[in-house]
A = this chain, B = another copy of it.
Amino acid sequence: MNEFSFIEYLKKKIPKSGRVSVGIGDDAAVMSVDKNKKLVVSTDVIVENVDFKIRALSPEKIGRKTLAVNLSDIAAMGASPAAFVISIGKPPYITTSWLKRFYKGLLALAKQYNIACIGGDFSKAKEFFASITIFGEASPHQIVKRSGARPGDWIAVTGALGGSFLRHHHDFMPRVLEGLFLVKHIKPTAMIDISDGLVQDLSHILKVSGVGAALDLDEIPVSRDARKISRGNEKKALTSALSDGEDFELLFTVSPRQKKMLGKIWKKEFSKVSLKWIGKIEGEKPVIRWLRNEKVVAMPKIFKQGFAHF
């Protein structure tokens, strides 16, 4: 199968979307953005042997993950995902049947969230890589930036953290519905998705918001995977929850009033996704104070400061 016949194959596999007036097969795609909404755009690239091993994961799971990390970024803005384009670098040892399975996993997730694949590009390459650019839309008042955290705000996190590499970081569910629910009902003051680890991603919020935080070590949601890899060592499991990357949970801040409101409605909507209040925003310097049993303790050991991409 050459490039052109593979694109013909894809055109048949990709569902039509009402908002897309020109899809795959022209110089560019054309779609509509709701006239009252802003365009929200994010891009992520995954590279073989950096983000995954071809032999360790099925092509379906690699395809799914490629899109899932992008969905997580859109979720963290409080936006609704709409469409994406994808560029692929294809080494000679990647067959078109492997690529078909890659697209199968990717398009299954796209279908779940009703988002359209509107274009792409292929190139020969030495190693496999895939770069997705995703488009979402949001009302201007709906968008949550990283920079809005204020002293007195509560800090919340969805799900449980740490040890996602046990599952090769692949089977997480991007928190799109949760993000949309949050902006609809309370609108967080700041939000980010946890890709580099809780401490590093919280630091991003603190730095751009110009605030500090007090974190309650008793409230950190440690995942079953983090416990599993720590073999009963609670301290190690906590470290894992604080610093492992690729959790793809939402980390956000809300006012005390919003916290109260959210406490009442979250469980009804998301019975299977926990919501934990892990601390509060305080001060004006981007530093973290650590608490246990309401007493200040030393900073816990962190494995690594996230993930170096250079």
**CB proximity of A149 to chain B, nearest CB, Å:** 13
A79 nearest CB neighbor, chain B only: B28
Given contacts A3-B308, A35-B35, A90-B309, 16 further A-B contacts (CB under 8 A): A2-B308, A2-B310, A21-B143, A27-B146, A28-B74, A29-B41, A32-B38, A39-B39, A39-B135, A41-B85, A43-B87, A43-B121, A85-B133, A124-B309, A125-B127, A133-B133
B38 touches A77 (CB 8 A): no
- CB-based contact B3/A124 at 8 Å: no
Cβ-based interface call for A238 (8 A): no
Name A's B-contacting residues (CB within 8 A).
1-3, 6, 21-22, 25-33, 35-36, 38-47, 49-51, 73-74, 76-77, 79, 83, 85-90, 96, 118-127, 129, 131, 133-136, 138, 140, 143, 145-147, 191-193, 208, 308-310
Q: Note all chain B residues with C-beta closer than 8 A to A136.
A: 28
23 residue pairs of the A-B complex, CB under 8 angstroms, read: A21-B38, A26-B77, A27-B73, A27-B74, A28-B74, A28-B79, A28-B136, A30-B39, A30-B77, A30-B143, A39-B135, A44-B87, A44-B121, A45-B122, A45-B131, A46-B123, A50-B124, A50-B125, A87-B131, A89-B89, A89-B129, A90-B309, A122-B309
A22 CB to closest chain B CB (Å) equals 6
Q: Are B39 and A31 in contact (CB under 8 A)?
A: yes
B27 touches A33 (CB 8 A): no
**Chain A interface secondary structure, helix, strand, loop or mixed?**
strand
- Residues of B near A36 (CB, < 8 A) are 35
A208, chain B: closest CB distance, angstroms: 7
